[in-house]
Amino acid sequence: MSYLAELVEGSGRHHGAELIAFYDRLETEHTNVLAELERYQVEEPQSALQMAALLWPFWMDRGHIAEGRARLATALERGPATASAIRASALYGAGTLAFRQAANAEAARLFEKPERSAVLRAAPCATDGRRMQAGWPRRAYGSSASSATTEGPPALSTWSRTPRT
């Protein structure tokens, strides 16, 4: 089974110890995971976009922030530019990773992309069912991490404000 198939199959079902074990496996097989992602970048850009969109929580959790940002940027550049849930998730991931590195202007730009906003206005947030508003990053985080408030999705409101590399 491909890593993409495993990511799709496990999406939203891994929690607690199961998620840790899954991330441990991805970490162990990181070189192979990236090789598959790179192959998709060339052969199937839509699949690369989907894989990157599914990998960003792993990159964030395991401290591969810069790598995740670069991989998501490539996938977004090469993947289809039409609005889709996959593209919206990739933009959200790229924005979240940018925020984690205190690149707030970049995060806001990614969060407010029209193709992301259109999809998210029509779909509930995956974590708690609330509908997300397109402009929340600017209201919530202002121009610097030190001005952060607890507005926005619950996942962001609980994060450490320390930039990561």
What residue segments make up the domains of the chain, in order of their start? Answer: 3-157
Query: Residue 103: pLDDT above 90?
Result: yes
- The pLDDT confidence band at residue 163, using thresholds 50, 70 and 90, is low
Residues 2/8, Cβ–Cβ less than 8 Å: no
Q: How far apart are CA 32 and CA 69, in angstroms?
A: 19
Which amino acid is located at 90 in the chain?
Answer: A
**pLDDT, position 25:** 92
1-6's contacts with Cβ under 8 Å and 24+ in sequence apart are: 2/36, 3/29, 3/32, 3/33, 3/36, 3/37, 3/51, 4/36, 4/40, 4/47, 4/50, 4/51, 4/54
d(CA 31, CA 43): 18
pLDDT in tens, 24-56: 999 999 999 999 999 999 999 999 999 999 999
- Residue 158 gets which letter from DSSP? T
Q: What is the mean pLDDT of residues 115-134?
A: 49
Mean pLDDT to the nearest integer, 75-85? 89
What pLDDT shows up at residue 128? 38
Fold classification of 3-157 is 1.25.40
Q: Considering the chain, what is the average pLDDT of its residues?
A: 77
Start-to-end Cα distance in the chain = 31
- Helical axes 16-28 vs 45-61, angle rounded to 10°: 110
The single-letter code of the amino acid at 109 is: R
